Amino acid sequence: MSVEKVMSSLCYFSVFFAPFLFPIIVFFVMRDEEVTYHAKRAVLSHLLPFASVIIAFIAVFGLDIGVVVFLGFIVFGLLNVIVFIWNIVKGIQVLRW
């Protein structure tokens, strides 16, 4: 197994230990094109749940409609779970190739 595959998969698996920091460091340190590609994708996939949390807080404090806020939390929660699972799947796929 090559170092490039391990670093690429760790960018996705960093959702467990350093969601933003690790892929950004890998992006700037590693010179391999494939590794930087996966690092960019990992950063974007880690930003999506973060952005959804910010939007959810804005909805809670900005809106006074309980049903809309409740449905928003369900949608954002599902989005976060999907992105989390996607990162795990992508990390495994990178290791297998």
Tens-of-pLDDT digits for all 97 residues of the chain? 789 999 999 999 999 988 889 999 999 999 999 999 999 999 999 888 778 777 777 776 766 666 666 777 787 888 889 999 999 999 999 998 7
Give the CA radius of gyration of the chain.
16
d(CA 35, CA 51): 24
Q: Establish how many alpha carbons lie within 13 A of residue 38's alpha carbon, considering only the half-sphere containing its beta carbon.
A: 28
pLDDT of residue 27: 93
What pLDDT is recorded for position 22? 93
Question: Amino acid identity of 25?
Answer: I
SS3 14: coil
